């Protein structure tokens, strides 16, 4: 999203960061199945055009706490489901690596990232 802002707005893209933040906070996230604003505040965000409207209902006391707790539990369940779904996708191609004494492995040393280890697979296998 920021890349599109930089391309569209050129050198003045930083002036549009609040708009990009508003767009991100109100976009639907598949992992939690709601927008981040709705997850945080428990209601949908109105666009800036509707901000002048008045007469919102306000929740107080136990009702507010109950609804907030229900929303937190619901979001935690959705995140857990998304995490397990992503894990199952990642595990499809994952292979367990086992090393024994005497095995040759390739180590890549990067001054920025440190030591990066390669497993026994592909073209690096003996």
- Give the chain's mean pLDDT: 74
Question: Per mean pLDDT, which range of 53-62, 78-87, 92-101 is the poorest?
Answer: 53-62
- Is the model's pLDDT at 96 over the cut of 70? yes
119 half-sphere exposure, CB direction, 13 A CA radius: 7
Instruction: Give me the domain span that covers residue 79.
Output: 1-93
What are 14's two structure tokens? 């930083």
Q: Is residue 99 part of a domain?
A: no
The yes-or-no verdict on residue 38 having pLDDT over 70 is: yes
Residue 34 has pLDDT above 60, yes or no: yes
Res 54: pLDDT: 46
Question: Is position 80 within any domain?
Answer: yes
Q: Is the pLDDT of residue 50 over 60?
A: no
16: in domain: yes
Q: Is residue 49 one of the residues assigned to a domain?
A: yes
Q: pLDDT over 90 for what percent of the chain?
A: 1
pLDDT of res. 109: 74
Give 115's strand partners: 109
pLDDT value for 76? 82
53 in a domain, yes or no?
A: yes
Looking at the 3D structure of the chain, how many domains does it have?
A: 1
Burial 15-27 (b: 16+ CB within 10 A, else e): eeeeebeeeeeee
User: 10 Å Cβ neighbour count for 38?
Assistant: 19
């Amino acid at each position: 999203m920021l890349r599109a802002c930089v391309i569209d707005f050129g050198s003045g893209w930083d002036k549009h960061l609040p708009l990009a933040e508003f767009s991100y906070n109100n976009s639907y996230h598949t992992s939690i199945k709601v927008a981040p604003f709705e997850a945080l505040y428990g209601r949908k965000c109105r666009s800036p055009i509707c901000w002048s409207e008045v007469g919102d209902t306000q929740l107080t006391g136990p009702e507010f706490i109950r609804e907030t707790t229900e929303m937190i539990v619901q979001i935690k369940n959705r995140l857990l489901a998304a995490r397990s779904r992503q894990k199952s996708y990642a595990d499809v191609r994952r292979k367990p690596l086992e090393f024994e004494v005497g095995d040759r492995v390739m180590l890549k040393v990067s001054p920025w990232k440190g030591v990066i280890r390669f497993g026994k697979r592909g073209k690096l296998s003996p």
